[in-house]
Structure 1
């Protein structure tokens, strides 16, 4: 069986490894546009500020390992430009030589991930303006920081924007963060985001909210960011305004995609063409709480979808059970966690929801050095089914978010939270966990 995988990072190589485990006679070809395989993109902000001391630490397996140990034809600098689903052929080009490629397949996986959004802003081509998505991006930023960089401007207040604000601050840079909406971290509701704003200001991050970037100016190198309301001097710009599925090469194919270019897949990760599969940031995910297809690109999901796609391609039927929208971010002294629906999302879906909020100690009240947890629960006011939760604090956030994520996955109600046998000892919890305190109150 000839397997071709387009994309050599999370989903693609999870699939490749699952195929090697399942089909001992597999002939696997992987086509990667860049030069690096199987690395942790989420670790890149921590490489930049030196918390992760060596960029090689985020590489799970090198391309040489896949070739020599697993017998995979792992190619680099190979860009796919067309897929012919009728002839079962992939067409591409070797970027270094310009040589055209034509490869036959029996099973095809599209695992091309996502690309950073780079708006058509005036001056975006100036030196000193960087995205952060790949190892090459990371090396470029590290190299640029060797220049006399004092003032850094981050455009976008999502996951990467927040993590990089902390990263640059820890390097002694003056950080300005520009966000076009009225809040950072729009995956949280505004009342919870206010806590994030306070943390940013506490660490001297200059917040510019409600302004849209229109362009950049400078002589070869950027020195000014121009918005619809003003201009800001800078030495370096990080662009973090979102990502888009890397699927433009499929526009003339029969593969079904949504309006944003994310590929529709079923539970077996098959596309609308049965012998073509898709996984990771370029594919949609079924949201178990919304009961709708969604697109929330995260590394955890990419690895799961890749494994399931590889198993199915090799004849071992597995199904992807869906997501509940769980994520967590470190931001200075705070941990920001969320899962399920926000109040904004519940309102958009016209669900009959209610909200409960609580400030609680992360541990027993009498035990020293406790920290406040800010918790928000969203639930169905008729059935009491859990819909979502947001938790922000210094300690114990991950514990509560994972409990809520598990509860959401299993479609539990608020009342059923009271029956959970959760871990208790004074350094970690009170006899009633804050989530159970909220359930009692509701």
Structure 2
């Protein structure tokens, strides 16, 4: 059986490893348009900030390991430009490869709007190791950095650039940073940015760039911002444009629609990772939240499905977390705006509580917000911002959401307690009791 996988990162190589581990007769070919396999994209900002010394540290397995240890025909500089589902072949510049089963794991690409001057030197996106290395080299001797986009990548890059002594400005076209949080909670994020010397410009839209050969100014609807270096972090789009003539069904944003077994609508073609949809357990419909955790899970299950040992992907609840200077920002489930879009009747309850017993040394307060359905009492989501203990609580809440628990059932959980770690009533449970 010939298995072909397009994409050599999280989803693609998770699938490849499941195939070779479970089918000793399998012929597995992986096609990567770049030269690097299987690396941790989420670690790239911390290489920029010199917390991680090299991009080499982010590579999970080398190409040689896949080839020599696991017998995978791992190819580099092989960009697929066309798929013929009838002939069951993938086609690129100078190659044509047949398959019995095909996985599309082509990931996503940073969005670069068609701004005037976007081709000037000094304007970067950050998604791959080569892009990151180019940014690090270009940042040498540069001081004034403008980041376009106040989402997770923008915030992580802002923190890490401040840590290496850069003057950072963030431009965000909406009225807040981190739009996946409620606006009043996002004020805490803005305060943290300002505290660390970041200039934050909200409700401001980029119109273009000015300079000779290199960017010198960012042009917005409110003026000009002097810049030596620009990072564009306004989102990503699925790498699926080469599939338009295949008959594959797409989500409205271009992601490939898949079922629970990562199958597309075309027989023997699967998709996983940032190029595919994920089923949202709270919305009860397909969604698109491209994260490494989802890519690894979907890739693993896609590989098993391809060899006939399928186990259904159970979906996501929208959990994410970020370190931003002294704060931890975490959320799971739905935000207020998402709940309103879904037209669920809901209430929110908010509390500010210490992360550990108040009498134990050095407690730190966290702000917690829970959303629940007013007719069923089912938990719908939550947001937590604080300095300590946020990660523990958001994972408890994510587990509760996964199992569709009610806010009352959250109170019943048997959670660990000792004064250095918690209060007798966990902050999540105390918040639930305030409804």
Residue in structure 2 matching 1:139, options 109, 133, 140:
133
| SS of equivalent to 1:143 | helix
Query: In the TM superposition, what is the alpha-carbon distance from 1:441 to its structure 2 partner?
Result: 1.8
Mapping for residues 34-45 of structure 1, pairs under 5 Å: 34-45=34-45
Query: In the TM superposition, what is the alpha-carbon distance from 1:259 to its structure 2 partner?
Result: 2.1
Aligned to 1:237: 230
Query: In the TM superposition, what is the alpha-carbon distance from 1:229 to its structure 2 partner?
Result: 1.3
Residue in structure 1 matching 2:432, options 414, 435, 439:
439
1:254 aligns with 2:247: yes
1:119 aligns with 2:149: no
Residue in structure 2 matching 1:310, options 297, 303, 307:
303
Structure 2: distance between partners of 1:319 and 1:397: 30
Aligned to 1:104: 98
Residue in structure 2 matching 1:323, options 284, 293, 316:
316
Query: In the TM superposition, what is the alpha-carbon distance from 1:58 to its structure 2 partner?
Result: 0.4
Aligned to 2:123: 129
Residue in structure 1 matching 2:277, options 256, 275, 284:
284
Query: In the TM superposition, what is the alpha-carbon distance from 1:49 to its structure 2 partner?
Result: 1.1
The 8 Å contact of residues 302 and 310 in structure 2, kept in 1 or not, is answered as no
Structure 2: distance between partners of 1:205 and 1:54: 26
1:228 aligns with 2:225: no
Q: Deviations over 1:87-141 (max 9, x none)?
A: 1010012xxxxxx211000000000000000111111111111000000011101
Structure 1: distance between partners of 2:355 and 2:27: 52
The 8 Å contact of residues 110 and 233 in structure 2, kept in 1 or not, is answered as yes
Q: Deviations over 1:224-279 (max 9, x none)?
A: 00011111001000110100000000011111002211000000000001200000
Q: Deviations over 1:287-309 (max 9, x none)?
A: 00010110000000000000000
| SS of equivalent to 1:418 | helix
Structure 2: distance between partners of 1:176 and 1:406: 37
Residue in structure 2 matching 1:400, options 393, 411, 429:
393
Structure 1: distance between partners of 2:431 and 2:232: 39
Aligned to 1:167: 160
| SS of equivalent to 1:166 | helix
Unpaired runs of 5+ in structure 1? Answer: 94-99
Query: In the TM superposition, what is the alpha-carbon distance from 1:383 to its structure 2 partner?
Result: 1.4
| SS of equivalent to 2:384 | strand
Aligned to 1:377: 370
Residue in structure 2 matching 1:269, options 262, 274, 278:
262
Aligned to 2:25: 25
Q: Deviations over 1:155-181 (max 9, x none)?
A: 001111000000000011100000010
Q: Deviations over 1:298-348 (max 9, x none)?
A: 000000000000001011121100000000000000000000000110011
Aligned to 1:206: 199
Count of residues paired in the alignment: 435
In the superposition, the TM-score normalised over structure 2's length comes to 0.99
Query: In the TM superposition, what is the alpha-carbon distance from 1:282 to its structure 2 partner?
Result: 0.3
Structure 1: distance between partners of 2:167 and 2:97: 50
The 8 Å contact of residues 101 and 269 in structure 2, kept in 1 or not, is answered as yes
Aligned to 1:88: 88
Aligned to 1:96: none
Aligned to 2:61: 61
Range moving further from structure 2, 249-258 or 297-306: 249-258
Structure 1: distance between partners of 2:364 and 2:281: 32
Residue in structure 1 matching 2:290, options 281, 285, 297:
297
Mapping for residues 415-430 of structure 1, pairs under 5 Å: 415-430=408-423
The 8 Å contact of residues 12 and 103 in structure 2, kept in 1 or not, is answered as yes
Q: Deviations over 1:185-219 (max 9, x none)?
A: 11111011111011111111100101111100111
Q: Deviations over 1:384-439 (max 9, x none)?
A: 11000000000000011000000000000011011101011111111000111122
Structure 2: distance between partners of 1:125 and 1:167: 25
The 8 Å contact of residues 109 and 127 in structure 2, kept in 1 or not, is answered as yes
The 8 Å contact of residues 178 and 186 in structure 2, kept in 1 or not, is answered as yes
| SS of equivalent to 2:337 | helix
| SS of equivalent to 2:318 | coil
* 4+ residue runs over 2 A deviation: none
Structure 1: distance between partners of 2:234 and 2:344: 29
Structure 2: distance between partners of 1:106 and 1:306: 18
Q: Deviations over 1:2-41 (max 9, x none)?
A: 0000000000000000001111111011110111000000
